[in-house]
Chains A and B, each alone.
Chain A
Amino acid sequence: MMHYIVRRMLQIIPVLLIISFIVFTLVFIAGDPVALMLPEDAALEEIEQLRESLGLNEPFYIQYGNYVFRMIQGDFGESFRYGQDALSVVLERLPATFELAIAAIVIAIMIAIPFGIWSATKQNSSIDLIATGAAVVGKAMPNFWLGIMLILLFSVTLGVLPVSGRGSIAHLILPAITLGTGIAAEMTRLIRSSMLEILNQDYIRTAKSKGIKSVHVIYKHAFRNALIPFVTITALQTSTLIGGALITETVFAWPGIGQLLIQAVNTRDMAIVQACVMIIAAIVILMNLLADIIYRILDPRIKLN
């Protein structure tokens, strides 16, 4: 197991290098950062001086080499907007993003597991129709629209929850529901379809023929098998949430990485953009690794090697 984890960790390095190359190239193509850093009427010598001091006159590969060298030391450059080290700006935002992602996933799981199982065990019943119908609607609603509707209802009309920002649990509720709804819909459908498939397996017939309680047949014999794809998808979903809650964070002014990334792109704060993308990439890769490890723990047929 340890051997496997170490080997997978080592594989992360080349992946991050490739990502850093792509990000650096895109930023390089995007244009001259000096133009944004200095006022429009800056003197030519002044511009040239800054370019020289930032190493922007060097050829592409030297600049990339320097970038990677600094990145390894944890230096992603300085954000001109915040006037601080880009990495620390990004890391400051991480807890907020994690908080929202975990809350959304917890909500999604709490909805998806019971409804997924109910609709599979009572296929074509009214519960199944309601659950699958709700899942289609939940999946189809765009996050920005759902977020705005929830704000209108709970914050503007009823006035029971705050409109935006972060602070108390109350602040977390609306963005977590907004983000969790789509995921809950997808998870419900996943659990339903894998439970339906599993309930037709021979070993379920064996379990029934042993005379054990149907609760055990469903929750022990069937659901334990359905967990294998479910946990994998959940781990991958969590990683997407951490990197991808851009819209929800923007709608609710939630001070997470997504909001930071959008602002950084708008203001062309390239140090922040690069740091954000690298951190998100690292988290996605680690969550993938976690998913693989859990997958192998849940399914004894797969050996770690």
Chain B
Amino acid sequence: MKEPFIHIKNLRTYFHTEDGTVPAVDDVSLSINKGEILAIVGESGSGKSVTSLSLMRLIDPPGRIESGEILFEGHNLVDYSMKKMRAIRGNKIAMIFQEPLTSLNPVFTVGNQISESIIEHQHKSKKEAKQLTIEMLTKVGIPRPDRVFHSYPHALSGGMRQRVMIAMALSCNPELLIADEPTTALDVTIQAQILHLMKELIIEFETSILLITHDLGVVAEMADRVIVMYGGQIVEETDVFTLFKHPKHPYTKGLLSSTPKVHELKEELVPIPGSVPNPIDYPIGCRFADRCALVMETCRTVHPELIEVKPGHLVRCWLHERKGEGT
């Protein structure tokens, strides 16, 4: 049985803008088990990226973690000083981002940027760090790693750059890798290679992954467990098979039917009508109510809670709350 090593409890991260307060992450609780790939799915603005940045304590003003706990190895990261956080970042929790070109510093060589973490966290000499960097570049499948060591990011292809990012993130053997849309900016063929590489490496490095994505194809390919976010909140949480076979939340169902499937080419794609509500002024009831085909009176007036409908399957929806009460 995989056991959780990260618990996020009732996390609230708000952005205080001139127009008002944006509850980007609004009472989110989740846990990540050792060796597991947990995916967070949602549209832009659903709070998935802010959740992952909060976990790293990388929220810049006007954003702020308002309340909640991030428990990692028994310690609450929310209380950590920046100095203590630095020992976690890149060392125990590492991150890769969507756009590898802009995520790498254009004026430093690939080797310099990877060995930097190794020197910082593992206290190696420059020479040892170079050795380790070249080993890492080899592991992520980069040909002629000693040449790439001296290359600048702009000289590499998109796939190579993302491999470099992965090498950099895994260089200190972290316990958790946060991958924020790791394949969104890549060609489809390269996407498959990168996903395959990540899967291989986490077995070798015994790393867990928090995968942030809006791509259900990537989720099906990678994830063990899935959290669906909408309007800064978790609306459904379950294992990957249940999510695709028996989705409960109307939003999850909408996401699935708006995604093309290879085996059902003739089936028409059904978009979810409307758009995400203004986060400064969320409705008092369910945040999805205005776009939901099954909306009821209660949905508009009372905010639904996240309810466990089956062991390990959580849903935030009045439809299921009623059923849950009945059985």
Enumerate chain A interface residues (CB-CB to B < 8 A). Answer: 201-203, 205-214, 216, 221, 224-225, 228, 298-301
The stretch from B20-28, B96-104, B125-133, B293-301 touching chain A is B96-104
B 77-98 contacts with A by CB, 8 A: 82, 85-91, 94-95, 97
Quick one: closest B residue to A299, CB to CB? B107
Given contacts A224-B108, A225-B107, contact A211 B88 (CB under 8 A): yes
* Chain B residues with CB under 8 A of A213: 86, 120
Contact B106 A211 (CB under 8 A): no
Contact B89 A221 (CB under 8 A): no
Shortest CB distance A130–B (Å): 20
Contact B103 A211 (CB under 8 A): no
* Chain A residues with CB under 8 A of B64: none
Contact B82 A299 (CB under 8 A): no
Which of the residues A209, A214, A221, A228 comes within 8 Å of B105, measured between beta carbons? A221
Contact B89 A202 (CB under 8 A): no
Which of the residues A211, A224, A225 comes within 8 Å of B89, measured between beta carbons? A211
Contact B104 A203 (CB under 8 A): yes
Quick one: closest B residue to A221, CB to CB? B105
Given contacts A205-B97, A209-B56, A210-B89, contact A298 B117 (CB under 8 A): no
Shortest CB distance A197–B (Å): 13
Shortest CB distance A190–B (Å): 18
Shortest CB distance A166–B (Å): 40
Counting contact residues on chain B (CB < 8 A from A), the size range is 20 to 34
Given contacts A209-B58, A210-B168, A212-B116, contact A203 B103 (CB under 8 A): yes
For A201, A209, A300, A301, the residue with the greatest tally of chain B CB atoms inside 10 Å of its CB is: A209
Other A-B contacts than A205-B58, A210-B168, 20 sampled, CB-CB below 8 A, are A202-B97, A205-B103, A206-B95, A206-B97, A207-B105, A209-B58, A209-B94, A210-B90, A210-B120, A212-B86, A212-B90, A212-B120, A214-B82, A216-B116, A225-B105, A225-B107, A228-B107, A300-B106, A301-B106, A301-B154
Which A-B residue pairs are the 8 nearest by beta carbons?
A: A211-B89, A210-B90, A211-B90, A202-B102, A203-B105, A209-B95, A300-B152, A211-B86
Which of the residues B82, B116, B152 comes within 8 Å of A210, measured between beta carbons? B116
Shortest CB distance A200–B (Å): 9
Could you mark each residue 45-63 of chain B with 1 if its beta carbon is under 8 Å from any beta carbon of chain A, else 0?
A: 0000000000010100000
* Chain B residues with CB under 8 A of A224: 105, 107-108
For B82, B85, B107, B121, the residue with the greatest tally of chain A CB atoms inside 10 Å of its CB is: B107
* Chain A residues with CB under 8 A of B58: 205, 208-209
Contact A202 B99 (CB under 8 A): yes
Quick one: closest B residue to A123, CB to CB? B61
**What is the bound-complex CA distance between A208 and B120, given in angstroms?**
12
Contact A211 B87 (CB under 8 A): yes
Shortest CB distance B143–A (Å): 21
* Chain B residues with CB under 8 A of A225: 105-107
**What is the bound-complex CA distance between A21 and B25, given in angstroms?**
68
Quick one: closest A residue to B178, CB to CB? A209
Which of the residues B82, B87, B88, B152 comes within 8 Å of A301, measured between beta carbons? B152
